[in-house]
Amino acid sequence: MTASHHPPSQHQPSQHQPPHAMAPEDVSRCADAVLREVGTVVVGMQGPLRLALATVLAGGHVLFEDVPGLGKTLAARSLATALGLEFRRVQCTPDLLPSDITGSAVWDPQASTFRFRPGPVFTGLLLADEINRTAPKTQSALLEAMAERQVTVDGATYALAPPFHVMATSNPIEYEGTYPLPEAQLDRFMARIAVGYLDAAPEAEVLQRRLDRRTDEARVRQVVDSSGLLAMQAGVESVRVDPDIVRYCVDLAAATRRHEAVEVGASPRGSLALMLVARALAVIDGRHFVAPEDVKTVGVPTLAHRITLTPATWAAGVQAEDVVRAVLSHVPGPKTVPAGR
C-alpha cells in the first residue's frame, strides 16, 4: 500500500501574491486597536502585550516565561482572536508525542491508503502551554515548525501557511518533571517575555471584572483578519532602519560575547531579532524610524535568553537579564536620532 502525503487543501502553501504593505501609520492604528481590544479582558499586561504584538509583527515567535496563573494563556488566546488568527492550544506533557503536534498518517479504508491528518500545528497561532514539560523529541518537532515553517512526517514535508506563529509558556520555577529547552530552540524564540505579578490595583480590577461578567468567559472582538496581519507585517518591513541603529544592535550583541560573565554570547540571530522587534515597536508607536530607546526597550526580551553564563556567574546568582542590562548601560548608542530619514 502507498501513503497519500497530501494534506487537505487548506493546509497547502499559499499560492497568492505577497500581501500589499499597509502604510506604517495604518499599522500603528490597527496595532493600537488590537491592544485596546485585548486590554478589555487582559489587565495589567500592557508592556508584555506590546512586546508580544511587536514580535508577531516582526514575524517571530514568543516565549512567555513566568509562574502559572498570571494570564499568559488568556493573553495569547486574546491576541489570536483580535488578530483574526485560528488558535490551537497544546498542553505539553511528558508523554506528548511529535505526531500529537505535527499530525500523522491514518488509514483510509475507502481509499485503501494512508492519508495525512494535520495536527494542531497547522494553525495561525499555536499556544504550546508549559513547553518545558514535554520531551526533547517532541520539542525538536516543534523546533522545525518554528525554524522552517514546515513539518516532516513519514519523510514527507508539509509547509505551514502564513501567518504562523508560536506562543509558548514556561514555568521557570519548577524543575521536577521538566525538560529544559535546548539552546537551539530558545534561540528560535524571537523574544522571551516575563509577565510578573500585578500590582494591587490591577489585580483588584481583574477580580471586579470577573464579578461584573458573571461568567468565566471573557470575549474579545476580532480587529483584523489574517490577511490584514500579513499586510501589517509587510508595512513594518517597509520601514528602513538607519545604519547607525543597525551598528548599535551589532555592538550590543557583540558586547554580550565579550562580557566576563558570559560563556556563550548572543548570536547574529540575536542582533537581528533585536533590530526587527525594535523596528516593529517603533511602528506601533507611530514612527517611521527606529530610535535607540526602542532598541533598549527590547534588549532584555530579545537577548537574555540567548546568553549562557559561566558556571561561576550562575552560582553567584547573577541572571542573564542583569548582564544584558549592564551591556545596555555601557555600550554607547548613536549620538543622533535619524528622525524621518
Residues 178 and 255 in one domain: no
Of the two residues 154 and 273, the one the predictor is more confident about is: 273
Q: Which of 161, 178, 213 is where one domain is finished?
A: 213
Helix (H) / strand (E) containing 262: strand 262-264
The lowest-confidence range among 11-20, 226-235, 330-339 is 11-20
Residues 105 and 247 in one domain: no
- Assign 172 a pLDDT band (cuts: 50, 70, 90): confident
| Residues 231-252: tens digit of each pLDDT | 999 999 999 999 999 999 999 9
Residues 198 and 248 in one domain: no
Q: In the prediction, which pLDDT does 216 show? A: 83
Q: Is residue 205 part of a domain?
A: yes
Residues 60 and 171 in one domain: yes
**How far is Cα 323 from Cα 154, in angstroms, rounded to an integer?**
43
Residues 208 and 269 in one domain: no
Of the two residues 239 and 69, the one the predictor is more confident about is: 239
- Assign 177 a pLDDT band (cuts: 50, 70, 90): low
**Residue 307 reports pLDDT greater than 60:** yes
Of the two residues 213 and 232, the one the predictor is more confident about is: 232
Residues 139 and 62 in one domain: yes
Which whole number is the average pLDDT over 191-210?
91
Residues 59 and 183 in one domain: yes
Q: Is residue 288 part of a domain?
A: yes
Q: Is residue 26 part of a domain?
A: no
**Residue 1 reports pLDDT greater than 50:** no
**Residue 281 reports pLDDT greater than 90:** yes
- Assign 8 a pLDDT band (cuts: 50, 70, 90): very low
C-alpha cell belonging to residue 85: 488568527
Task: Give the global pTM.
Answer: 0.90
Q: In the prediction, which pLDDT does 15 show? A: 46
Helix 24-38 × helix 46-57 angle, to 10°: 140
Q: Supply the DSSP symbol for 88.
A: E
**How far is Cα 109 from Cα 93, in angstroms, rounded to an integer?**
32
Q: Is residue 249 part of a domain?
A: yes
User: 324: closest CA among 249, 217, 229?
Assistant: 249
The domain that contains 51 carries what CATH number? 3.40.50.300
**How far is Cα 110 from Cα 43, in angstroms, rounded to an integer?**
51
Q: Is residue 104 part of a domain?
A: yes
Helix (H, G, I), strand (E, B) or coil at 206: helix
Which whole number is the average pLDDT over 6-16?
44
Q: Is residue 24 part of a domain?
A: no
Q: In the prediction, which pLDDT does 340 show? A: 52
Q: Which range of residues forms the domain containing residue 107? A: 41-213
Q: Is residue 32 part of a domain?
A: no
Q: In the prediction, which pLDDT does 41 show? A: 92
As for how many domains the chain has, the answer is 2
- Assign 284 a pLDDT band (cuts: 50, 70, 90): very high
DSSP assignments along 279-336, one per residue: HHHHHHTT-SS--HHHHHHHHHHHHGGG-EE-HHHHHTT--HHHHHHHHHHHS---SS
C-alpha cell belonging to residue 31: 496595532
- Assign 13 a pLDDT band (cuts: 50, 70, 90): very low
Residues 96 and 187 in one domain: yes
Residues 184 and 246 in one domain: no
**How far is Cα 324 from Cα 300, in angstroms, rounded to an integer?**
6
Of the two residues 178 and 242, the one the predictor is more confident about is: 242
Q: In the prediction, which pLDDT does 52 show? A: 97
Residues 151 and 255 in one domain: no
The lowest-confidence range among 10-19, 57-66, 68-77, 326-335 is 10-19
Q: In the prediction, which pLDDT does 240 show? A: 92
Q: Is residue 31 part of a domain?
A: no
| Residues 130-162: tens digit of each pLDDT | 998 999 889 888 988 999 999 988 888 999 999
Residues 190 and 70 in one domain: yes
| Residues 34-47: tens digit of each pLDDT | 999 999 999 989 99
340 phi/psi in degrees, rounded to 5: 75, 0
User: 187: closest CA among 293, 124, 271?
Assistant: 271
The domain that contains 294 carries what CATH number? 1.10.8.80
Residues 49 and 167 in one domain: yes
